[in-house]
Structure 1
Amino acid sequence: MSGAVGTPLSPTGVSLRHARVRYGPLEALHGVTLHAPAPGVTVLLGRNGSGRTTALRALAGTVPLSQGAVVWDGTDVTRLPAYERARLGLCLVPDRRAVFGSLTVRENLELAASGRPFAAALDAYPRLGALLPRRAGTLSGGEQRMLALSRALLARARVVLVDEPSQGMSPVIAARTYELLSGLDAGVIVAEQRLPPGLRSGTTIVYELRRGAVVFSGEAAETSASAAAADAPGPAEPTRPT
């Protein structure tokens, strides 16, 4: 059972503690525990249905926990609604409907900037400059991702949660995106099916989820070494039931 808001529980960053999430009769997270320090980048790896998107939503407060806790900078925020977490500096960029489609690109950026200049967004993604008068809903998938991430950059969030940041982007723009996310003075958590090339070295923290449970946690370098060992030729093994 989670504690009351205001109870100090963990160091700087955001965590799930023994988190369980249910969608009707189905449980999507089975007691997941993970910690994402701030600043820094944490990657949630997993195939569709692994629970990585649900973990992001649980951290953001857009889905409730049936058990466990969400802890942010040492405070249990499990009972804090999503809009209050947003006010405190948590920004969620979902994989779909991450922009205001009926508004122009300029209007989307102006909303995110809250009266400040939005030139930083155009520096991050220069292509958006030519798209300022366009309605966001008419943009390509990659262009919408650029706009959504620009809005997150402008928000000056303390925690940024992004589901598949590079979806629909070219390799060059995807590399630029991970460079931008890695440079933020924030706790950044991204959900991906595979570990992006730009995050395979250094001290990036990786959690691999499978069927709603954490099956691996460690630094990205460990993941790369494990993958290389798995790819190396070896003796054949008998087929096992899955």
Structure 2
Amino acid sequence: MTMSLRHARVRYGPLEALHGVTLAAPSRGLTVLLGRNGSGRTTVLRALAGTVPLTGGAVVWDGADVTRTPAHRRARAGLCLVPERRAVFGSLTVRENLELTAPDHGPALAAYPRLAPLLDRPAGTLSGGEQRMLALARALLAHARVVLVDEPAQGMSPGVAARTYELLAGLDACVVIAEQRLPPALHGTGAFVYELRRGAVVFAGEAAEWRRGAAGRAGE
């Protein structure tokens, strides 16, 4: 159940955000998209999810071309996108947000105990880190086949962030996350890394290989 882009191009008006990007995420395991703002990493997630159309190339899921499959149908087939912003329903309580995904939200509270005393609070009143916990908790409850997350640990404490990466890495799913920097919790893992720069892939390899290359570049 590999999720991949093949020579993907995306345009926002006159600007091309992806210049023929090819990458693949395995059916089980963690893939990290690295890049600064404007590198195209968020656009890659949106292209995989179907929330932005391709102007060239293809999206292939488990061997099938889903380029023209709309986002809601990809979601029904088991794809879950957690965007960087507006990932929860702010006017609903924490409990209601969780129950929209699954009636039994016990596993979500086990993953993020900090949410338990906040169940009756409107999600829009939570801190940024708490909202990320809620968004990730909903993703965990969804039991999705493909999980796409933009900056999963934004606003979280180091301990909660480490727990978040542990949870994502342990999912029985294809997990793709977008980050500006490789999180310390993933340095020693077998996570696969794609580094993007100005809409193109400039590195593809395991996290350890990327770190060695980064250390070499720093020493130049």
TM-score (ref. length: structure 1): 0.90
Q: Name the amino acid aligned to 2:55.
A: S
For these two proteins, the number of residue pairs brought into alignment is 220
Question: Within the alignment, does 1:183 sit opposite 2:170 as a pair?
Answer: yes
Question: Within the alignment, does 1:223 sit opposite 2:197 as a pair?
Answer: no
Partner of 1:9: none
CA distance in 1, matches of 2:203, 2:14: 26
Q: How does 1:74-89 map to 2 (within 5 A)?
A: 74-89=63-78
Partner of 2:198: 211
Larger radius of gyration: 1
Question: Within the alignment, does 1:61 sit opposite 2:37 as a pair?
Answer: no
CA distance in 2, matches of 1:187, 1:142: 24
CA distance in 2, matches of 1:143, 1:168: 8
Question: Within the alignment, does 1:98 sit opposite 2:87 as a pair?
Answer: yes
CA distance in 2, matches of 1:71, 1:214: 18
CA distance in 1, matches of 2:114, 2:189: 30
Partner of 1:238: none
Q: Name the amino acid aligned to 1:47.
A: R
Indicate the percent of aligned positions where both proteins have the same amino acid: 76
CA distance in 2, matches of 1:53, 1:202: 23
SS in structure 2 at match of 1:95? coil
SS in structure 2 at match of 1:231? helix
- Note the aligned Cα RMSD (angstroms): 0.8
CA distance in 2, matches of 1:169, 1:203: 23
CA distance in 1, matches of 2:214, 2:43: 25
Unaligned runs of 5+ in 1: 1-11, 235-242
Partner of 1:112: 101
Q: Name the amino acid aligned to 2:13.
A: G
Q: Out of 170, 181, 184, which is 1:194 matched to? A: 181
CA distance in 2, matches of 1:197, 1:88: 32
Q: Deviations over 1:8-65 (max 9, x none)?
A: xxxx310000000000111000000000001000000000000000000000000000
Question: Within the alignment, does 1:22 sit opposite 2:38 as a pair?
Answer: no
Q: Name the amino acid aligned to 1:128.
A: L
Q: Name the amino acid aligned to 2:190.
A: T
Q: Name the amino acid aligned to 2:57.
A: G
Partner of 1:130: 117
TM-score (ref. length: structure 2): 0.98
